[in-house]
Amino acid sequence: METLKTTVAIIGAGPSGLLLSQLLHQAGIDSLIVERTSRARVLERIRAGVLERGTVEGMEEAGCAARLHAECIPHDGVILSFDGEQFEIPVREITGYHVIVYGQTEITKDLIEACEARGQAIYWECPDAVLADLETAVPKVQFTTPEGETHRIEAEIVAGCDGFHGVCRQSIPEARRRAFERTYPFGWLGVLVDEPPVAHNVIYANHEDGFALASMRSETRSRYYVQSAPGETVEDWSSDRFWEAFTRRLGALGQQVRTGEPIEMSIAPLRSFVSEPMRFGRLFLAGDSAHIVPPTGAKGLNLAFADVRRLSRAIITWKDGGQDAALEAYSVEALARVWKIERFSWYLTSMMHQFPEHSGFEKRMQRAEFDYIRSSEAGQKTIAENYVGLQF
């Protein structure tokens, strides 16, 4: 068994783990990354692409924002629709900021290339990582490479960036963590299609048949979603069925949709989830390993990057001064923001979807909320501030 020594052992080579490694490198702090899947698998994941200003700042801090700035598409507003009636919230006019469209796949590609260009060690396809001695000054990570070689990392800090199904959260004893969860009675069926988007800004639509969302990846590629029933699979949805449902739920805007054969089609369940605390000894959780938000509002990647930026600052402060105060504050400070983002995602999900258990009263409340936001500067400001990203 080979023993490797580093300051920070990062579990997970998704965008969170890669960003953390890059930010630490900028401060002269070394790290090693262990990833359970392959490089190709990480790069082929199709995820969100609406970025808050804080996420863009994180890429800038990491020195990885050149292509992002060259290719991104700014969005100045967001469109809400209810039973075919639409209005736009002028996000940039209200807040002075916009969000941008730049795919998560592209962010991951930029970060991998930056890490590999400077020789960052990334151990791919190591699904058997085991964490130990997390409450000591020398936590350890043991894993086996695809070649059958066993390695043990001796670190000073372990960063859990390995997602909801990863090993890091599970390495915290059950008696020392508490989970909060809301599972929603529907999923999102998403398609990626090489057709121009129906609108420049994102559309969130509530229709009696269910939710729909229209977004873009580029001027010629669109990402569209419809609410699907529990237990449904991609095989239950033909291309024709999707386009009929999607265009109907957008109302008049649906007549402008350019349909085509999807190049990708998948169903994602929706849940809200938070695990507390986000620290156990020298193990620190960030991103989906600690929390999940429903995709309504596009907060998943953005929230993960906020965690990573906060954690990198805490580690840098600790390393510079040798004091644990910054590390000790990480979980409390991160969770304070996490719950605010969970609230916003839950709020939009609750307003814009059809819930099978809702009576006529709840449906009227959804409509009343929509009408209030449409007529209220304060209501629109609340959504705009959350949409571009809360500061920290």
Q: What amino acid positions are annotated as catalytic residues?
A: 75, 204, 295, 299, 387
In whole angstroms, what is the distance from residue 191 CA to residue 205 CA?
16
Mark 108-135 as b/e (b = at least 16 C-beta within 10 Å). Answer: bbbbbebbeeeebebbbbbeebebeebe
Q: DSSP letters along 31-61, please?
A: EEEE-SS-HHHHHH-----EE-HHHHHHHHH
Q: How far apart are CA 266 and CA 264, in angstroms?
A: 7
In the chain, the amino acid numbered 363 is: K
Q: Which of 121, 129, 73, 79 is nearest to 99 (CA)?
A: 73
CB atoms < 10 A from the CB of 362, how many?
12
Q: Determine contact, residues 222/215, Cβ cutoff 8 Å.
A: yes
Both tokens assigned to 31: 């790290």
End-to-end CA distance of the chain: 42
Neighbour-count burial for 237-253, b at 16+ CB within 10 Å, e otherwise: beeeebbebbbbbbbeb
Q: Distance (Å, rounded) from C-alpha 231 to C-alpha 350?
A: 20
**Which stretches of 131-265 are DSSP H helices?**
167-170, 239-249
H or E segment and range at residue 338: helix 325-352
**DSSP assigned state of 28:** T
Distance (Å, whole) CA 316 – CA 135: 20
CB atoms within 10 A of CB 62: 25
- Report d(CA 352, CA 83) in Å as an integer: 10
* Partners of residue 388 on adjacent β-strands: none
